[in-house]
Amino acid sequence: MSSTVLVSIISGLEGRVGSNPKIITIYPDNLDATEEFILERSLPHGALPDQFFEDKLDSRKILVYTFEIQKDGRNDLASIGLVLDKDVIIANLQPIIKRLVKRLNSENLLTLEIFQESLPKIIDGLNKESKIKIGSMIFDVKSILNEENLELKEKSRKARGMF
Amino acid sequence: MGIFHFLTRKTKNKSIFCGLDSSGKSTIISFLREGKFVEHVPTMGKDMTEMEVQGIRLNLFDMGGQSHFRQMWLGELDDTKCVVFVVDKSDPGRFAEAKAELAKLLPVISKKKIKLLIFANKHDISKDVQLSQLINEFELEKLPNFELLEISAKTGFGMTDAFIKFYSILTGQVIKKNAVASAISIYSNGGIPLITQAKNDDEFDKNILEGGFLSAITAFAEMKVNNSCIKFESKDNGTFLILKSQNFIGALLWNDKLNITMDTSEGALKELLDHLEAIGVYKQPEKVPDVVEQYVTNMM
Ligand SMILES: Nc1nc2c(ncn2[C@@H]2O[C@H](COP(=O)(O)OP(=O)(O)OP(=O)(O)O)[C@@H](O)[C@H]2O)c(=O)[nH]1
Ligand SMILES: [Mg+2]
């Protein structure tokens, strides 16, 4: 089975004075494009917290989710951008991403540093539809998919044809 | 009219809000829209707000102030009628940087006869910084014309006057400020008086509101009702409106000389209480008088 998430990007625009939008991390580091091109897509102009954006990169889909990170002064704006296999059902992936961010926030784990550190685990969990463990938090992708009766990918034509 | 008209339509009554990151542009716009303080994340590039006031549509472009976005400001000037340049008055360390950014806009502003309005924001935390200091440091006296106003998008200080000025520059129309009360008092939710303000500092109205009905406030404080308004009519003085929010009780004195409906006054009192809740000032009751004093500049 091919991966769901091919490349993932965390971007941020910090609330502090003198900040600028920037890419925090890319995993795995293999997107063949300029930094500017990636930033424009992973943190689109006009973005506000808690929005989804969809785009295309060749035959692959891009899904971006924006969120805010609590800070003492002004909050940061951040985003997770996912370059996806073309068979991924974006509408089904959206609630998973949103729930993950919400959960990290409620466990006080929503920081750019933790995201940077844990991105491989998050992507691995999404790809294998398994448990994502960050600190003391366990986010079980499979059980959420089951609970909500969702599939992350279209069944291939061939597989469907067998029934 | 047809689709052609629609396609070639230009943005009408367009204004752009520029200024360094964190100067308060988004906070000002949301205060104008909602009448209360709201915290924002930094603006990612640009954001647009449309408002309709007295039947006229206004377009407010909120430009991101980070250095990454500043080259976009010039590109928006083309069909703009008014530039609002926002300065964080509490941060003189960044005046030079702000001045340099403003200087980049000035040639186009002057060539296209765009109106320039400068908001010296965050007055609530920079009362010791005088406008004359800003005029000197920005060398504003060299400009052919501009308007400079002191405001606070946190406490609301001067916001109505700023909006009246902005509206008249943008539309050429005048709006009048209506007083919504002849006096306003704020109490803690336990009924302790925190501050009373009267229109034109009128001691008579102040005394009526302060002295008139403390027992009623005390009784109201004990009732478990939020956001419901009670009214007392007094034959000689007008009507007292009392409203409770989670942490405060607000009272105002209304009479028909104000020339607005009692409902409008009640709405304004509710906005004031919402504002006090939104900025979290109940945690520091000693700050309430100052915050109320600044906000009611908009109400009377
Ligand atoms: N004390 C005080 N703080 C304010 C005032 N106006 C805005 N702030 C705070 O200043 C910070 C920046 O406000 P924003 O409105 O996001 O600033 P901005 O100019 O839109 O910034 P960018 O979008 O980054 O260009 C926020 O934390 C606001 O709460 C004010 O009048 N007084
Ligand atoms: Mg902003």
Tell me, what's the pLDDT at B237?
81
Q: Bridge partners of B241?
A: B231, B252
Q: Which residues of A touch B66 (CB under 8 A)?
A: 13, 19-21
- Taking a C-beta distance cutoff of 8 angstroms, is the pair A123, A9 a contact? no
* B209 C-beta neighbours (distance < 10 Å), count: 24
Q: Which of B25, B39, B41, B121 to mutate to test the interface with A (most CBs of A within 10 A)?
A: B41
Specify the ligand 1 atom closest to the Cα of B40: 16
Give ion ligand 2 contacts, CB < 5 A: B 25-26, 43
Q: State how far residue A56 is from chain B, nearest Cα, in angstroms.
A: 21
H-state helical runs in chain B: 2-8, 25-34, 71-75, 95-111, 131-137, 159-171, 203-212, 214-222, 262-278, 288-295
Q: How far apart are CA B9 and CA B98, in angstroms?
A: 33
Q: Bridge partners of A27?
A: A8
Alpha carbon separation from B222 to B191, B215, B228 (Å, rounded): 9, 11, 14
Strands B115-121 and B82-88: parallel
The residue whose CA has the least distance to atom 1 of ligand 1 is B122
Q: How far apart are CA B236 and CA B246, in angstroms?
A: 31
Q: Residues in chain A with pLDDT < 50?
A: 157-158, 161-163
B122 Cβ neighbours under 8 A, 6+ residues apart: B24, B88, B89, B90, B91, B152, B153, B154
Ligand 1: centre distance to CA B229 (Å): 33
Query: Which carries the bigger pLDDT value, residue B297 or residue B206?
Result: B297
For residue A16, the chain B residue with the least C-alpha distance is: B22
Tell me, what's the pLDDT at B243?
92
Tell me, what's the pLDDT at A8?
95
Res. B218 pLDDT band, cuts 50 70 90: confident
Tell me, what's the pLDDT at A163?
45
Tell me, what's the pLDDT at B227?
65
- Taking a C-beta distance cutoff of 8 angstroms, is the pair B15, A13 a contact? no
Tell me, what's the pLDDT at A154?
85
Q: Which residues of B touch A74 (CB under 8 A)?
A: 22, 39-42
Q: Dihedral, CA atoms, B76, B161, B22, B114, nearest 10 degrees?
A: 20
Tell me, what's the pLDDT at B2?
54
Mean predicted lDDT score pLDDT of chain B:
90
For A14-43, give one letter per residue: b (16+ CB within 10 A) or e: bbebebebebbbbbeeebeeeeeebbbbbb
| Cβ contact, residue pair A14, B22, below 8 Å | no
pLDDT digit string, tens, across residues B248-272:
999 999 998 898 999 999 999 999 9
Tell whether A72 lies on the interface with B, counting CB pairs under 8 A: no
ipTM entry: 0.90
Task: Please say if the pLDDT value at position B300 is more than 50.
Answer: yes
Task: Please say if the pLDDT value at position B46 is more than 80.
Answer: yes
* B283 C-beta neighbours (distance < 10 Å), count: 8
The residue whose CA has the least distance to atom 9 of ligand 1 is B24
pTM (predicted TM-score): 0.87
Pocket of ligand 1 (CB under 6 A): A 73-74; B 19, 21-27, 39-40, 42-43, 64-66, 86, 121-122, 124-125, 152-154
Tell whether B190 lies on the interface with A, counting CB pairs under 8 A: no
Task: Please say if the pLDDT value at position B205 is more than 80.
Answer: no
Q: Bridge partners of A140?
A: A131
Res. B117 pLDDT band, cuts 50 70 90: very high
Tell me, what's the pLDDT at B9?
54
Ligand nearest to the CA of B65: 1
* A146 C-beta neighbours (distance < 10 Å), count: 11
Q: What is the mean pLDDT of residues B108-124?
A: 96
* pLDDT-wise least confident of A142-146, B138-142, B211-215: B211-215
| Cβ contact, residue pair A49, B45, below 8 Å | no
Task: Please say if the pLDDT value at position B84 is more than 70.
Answer: yes
Ligand 2: centre distance to CA B42 (Å): 5
pLDDT digit string, tens, across residues B180-196:
999 999 999 888 889 99
Query: Which carries the bigger pLDDT value, residue A142 or residue B209?
Result: A142
